[in-house]
Amino acid sequence: MTLKEIVETFNALLTPVIAGTTIYIAWQQYQVSQLSLRKDLYEKRLRVFHVFMSYLSEIVHEGKVNFNRSLQFIADASEADFLFDEEVARKAEELYNKGLELAGLNNQLYPFDGGQGLPVGDERSRVAHDQSELLAWFANQIPETRKMFRKQIAIQEQKRPSIIKLGSKVRK
């Protein structure tokens, strides 16, 4: 092989090597941008998670909620529509509606205006029972909500096999 043939061979190989290197660099930039996006979204998503957990914890701890607190929750959780899939938005709406329902039951037993609540009797017992069941429902929502958010907020990288490990497995 002459020097001219060697140079021509290297020239022919140079274009695919440059193309391969360019593709590799573009892929790496894509991976870095994806990771950066996930990290940027993490803080915003975590804030929404705290809105949900604060609302639930407050209801379970206090045993009641008022209309204003439910309105504050849905306003604070409204960002979920843009940061998560539809499941989180549906959960926010459900918690809001159940919060309004609980606030209504609380208002029947202990009116917010300080007035007389329902008198002792069957109706008061039914409302107190409904309130108790709703509070139990809210308590059950804490682990369910945590599980729902865990799927959507997790920043752990999915385990992907490396090219080196795949190559060694193929050779065996």
Give residue-wise pLDDT tens across range 10-49: 888 888 889 899 999 999 999 888 888 878 888 899 999 9
The pLDDT > 70 percentage for the chain reads 90
- Binned at pLDDT 50, 70 and 90, residue 159 comes out as low
Helix (H, G, I), strand (E, B) or coil at 163: helix
The tens digit of pLDDT for each residue in 99-153 reads 999 999 999 999 988 888 899 999 999 999 999 999 999 999 999 999 999 988 8
Q: Are 107 and 78 in contact (CB under 8 A)?
A: no
Mean pLDDT of 67-71: 96
The neighbour count for residue 48, using CB atoms within 10 Å, is 23
Residue 3 exposed, middle or buried by CB count within 10 Å (0-12, 13-18, 19+): exposed
Between 49 and 159, residue with greater pLDDT: 49
Angle at 9 between CA 8 and CA 11, to 5 degrees: 60
- Distance, in Å, from the CA atom of 5 to the CA atom of 39, rounded to the nearest integer, reads 51
